[in-house]
Amino acid sequence: MIGSSAIVGWIPSDGGSGTVKPYLLGGKSPGEVNPDQGDLTIVNGSLKIESVSSRLYMRFQLTATLPRQSLLYAVGPAGFFPSSPDFRLREHRFVTTTTINYNTGSQSVVKVSPHSKLKKTHGLMNMFGWGILIIVGAIVARHMKQWDPTWFYAHIALQTTGFLLGLTGVICGLVLENRLKANNVSKHKGLGITILVMGVLQMLALLARPDKQSKYRKYWNWYHHNIGRLLIILAISNIFYGIHLAKAGTSWNGGYGFAVAVLALTAIGLEVRKFLKK
């Protein structure tokens, strides 16, 4: 998009008159997107902008020697309108790109979400960290103790790796919220921070782990086990909630749902085996 020209229109929510301006997309920051610049010229008298049922319609005719085959349509952040004197824009929320073949009249449309790589990183890090490795580590700690001390080192390695991946996912989420100016993620963010705090407490619990002969060991076990269980429940719930907020589709729901089902069946099978051995 850098170096392209754009036509931007808006109608303030207070019912004022609509405004349309050409822009030059000189860079990715708001200060590099300059109003009243660019190489798009609107034909006099062809411009019309109106709002119908909360949907904005804009019509104009451009003077161009060669029609543009690649067009991009973007929607700005909700509740924000450029104002004088600089008429600066903020980053768009949604993008649709269209390529038109003027010889055949056909077109191809591709919807693109801003920061899609950051969104995927946020989702995958949390999914593999909190939502898979932490669960595998808990299963190892509960059902593999006959292989001592291998189970302990495996448990520590899995939980530490899961924590670091989850921490990365939370940081990506905070950066993403700041860049998108999202206003509908407060619950998702709150759950994520709660999970992170629980993860930190679990990591610190390792340093305060009393000896097996200590009278405080049973209290430490109760704390460590139950905080871990609650963390797993919240993590699974928040991952599915995040998939819902991102409108990531059935592939993400199905993929993670399958992983959770495999882990759940494995845990149930091991619990049944443990019960029968008693």
pLDDT digits (tens, 9 = 90+) for 258-272: 999 999 999 999 999
- Which is nearest to 212 in space by CA: 257, 169, 132, 148? 148
Write down the pLDDT at residue 15.
65
pLDDT digits (tens, 9 = 90+) for 205-259: 888 888 888 888 999 999 999 999 999 999 999 999 999 988 888 899 999 999 9
Question: What own/partner pairs with CB < 8 Å and gap ≥ 24 does 92-96 have?
Answer: 93/180, 96/72
Q: Which residues contact 158 (CB under 8 A, 6 or more apart)?
A: 133, 134, 136, 137, 140
- Which is nearest to 125 in space by CA: 86, 83, 173? 173
- Which is nearest to 122 in space by CA: 49, 85, 177, 183? 177
With a cut of 80, say whether residue 76 has pLDDT above it. Answer: no
pTM to 2 decimal places = 0.66
Cα–Cα distance measured from residue 163 to residue 166, given in angstroms and rounded to the nearest whole number: 5
Cα–Cα distance measured from residue 278 to residue 267, given in angstroms and rounded to the nearest whole number: 17
Question: What own/partner pairs with CB < 8 Å and gap ≥ 24 does 269-272 have?
Answer: 270/139, 270/142, 270/143
Q: How many CB atoms lie within 10 A of CB 31?
A: 9
For CA atoms 213, 143, 166, 131, give the dihedral sign: negative
Residue with structure tokens 């782990």? Answer: 209
Per-residue tokens: 147: 């292989």
